[in-house]
Amino acid sequence: MSLPLLEYAPRSQNQRVKGFEVPGDEQPRIYNTDGLLSNTEMDLLIKAAYRQIFNEQQMLLSHRQPLLESQLRAGQITVKDFIRGLVLADSFRRLVYDCNNNYRFVEICVQRILGRNSYSDRERLSWSIVLATEGLRGFVDALLNSEEYQQNFGAHTVPYQRRRILPKRIQGEVTFAHTARYGSDYRNKLPKPGLSRSWLTPSHADGLFTQGEKFDLKTFIDRANWPMVAAVLLPLSIVMIGMFAVALAN
């Protein structure tokens, strides 16, 4: 039995403010399949979808989904289905889902799928419960089938950051593309430069003593990368023995 979505109060963010500004260079370009698109226009739409979901720094050839692209071009799936496929792709799972906690992942998905920042901690908690109980696919389906997504993007429009710029404002909101794809908790788990006590690990080649640490023979013996030392000394010893043998022969 699935849990009902925890209620949360929307805040008055930019995307909830009605505006009558004249579209300009700072306004997001809207890509949709409402009309018959040429091959070039379809290429631009697909690229916009990748940019929205993966962001510029993750738009690599290895992350592309040829099957989904082919189905979209042939009209077999909608833009909404294409977005769903990108979020559920292995690349997105590895780059975003696997390296974040549920709250951080929810925040990123709300930005990239709904086109806005999350309202509050309560909203992140609400969607985190859906993610925990329904799984990744159920969570993505809940976002895409939400009334907010349907009203703003429907089945044929690529999501975009809604109302980043307001008239008469010097600077708009920071684009979501500048948001780091993982939080500080994951960053702190990344390997850090340091010393390992195991003589089997190659990390000893980075330096036996830290800056300001005094030389100690026991510490040197414990930290030395002996396989690497042997690999260097053995050929050198063979060369020296050979030279010594040649000298004796002469």
Residue 238: which pLDDT band, with cuts at 50, 70 and 90?
confident
Task: State whether the Cα torsion 191-195-199-205 is positive or negative.
Answer: positive
pLDDT one-digit tens code per residue, 216-232 = 777 767 777 777 777 77
Query: 14-187 domain in CATH 1.10.3130.20?
Result: yes
Q: Are 122 and 174 in contact (CB under 8 A)?
A: no
Range from 65-69, 123-127, 183-187, 239-243 carrying the lowest mean pLDDT: 183-187
Cβ atoms within 10 Å, residue 93: 13
In the structure encoding, which two tokens stand for residue 45, read together?
Answer: 């739409």
Q: Are 202 and 225 in contact (CB under 8 A)?
A: yes
pTM: 0.64
Task: State whether the Cα torsion 234-235-237-241 is positive or negative.
Answer: positive
- Please give the Cα distance from 103 to 125 (Å, whole number): 7
pLDDT one-digit tens code per residue, 146-165 = 999 999 999 999 999 887 65
- Please give the Cα distance from 153 to 45 (Å, whole number): 14
100 burial type by CB count under 10 A (0-12 exposed, 13-18 middle, 19+ buried): buried
SS3 assignment, position 176: helix
Q: Where are the domains of the chain?
A: 14-187, 202-249
Instruction: Using a pLDDT cut of 90, give the percent of the chain over it.
Output: 40
Higher pLDDT, 164 or 108: 108
Residue appearing with tokens 């008055």? 12
Give the residue-averaged pLDDT of 161-179. 60
Q: Are 68 and 82 in contact (CB under 8 A)?
A: yes
